[in-house]
Amino acid sequence: MPQFQRNIIITIDDNKFICRRCGKVFTSKHLVVTHILYECGKQSVFQCPLCPRKCKRNDVLQSHLKNIHRID
């Protein structure tokens, strides 16, 4: 694991991981790593072309387009 991840993740036990940057609690290491890589401290960058909604991740925008605008 890269050094920055070791420093930023606080491991409480097998089911509890905390992001040191924002204090958010996660139930798996996969979730906290994904959060740090793609969410934590990042601006909303994926702008919906059809409404003012911005998403932090492309897959969230894709499901927004699908669910709200009925576009696949």
The correct pick among 10, 37, 45, 51 for binding Zn ion (CB under 5 A) is 51
The correct pick among 10, 25, 45, 50 for binding Zn ion (CB under 5 A) is 50
Q: How many helices (H) and strands (E) does the chain have?
A: 3, 5
- Segment contacting Zn ion (CB under 5 A): 10-18, 25-33, 44-52, 55-63? 44-52
What is the phi/psi pair of residue 21, to 5°? -65, -45
To Zn ion, the closest distance from the beta carbon of 33 in angstroms equals: 11
Per CB under 5 A, 53 contacts Zn ion: yes
Contacts of 3 (CB under 8 A, 6+ apart): none
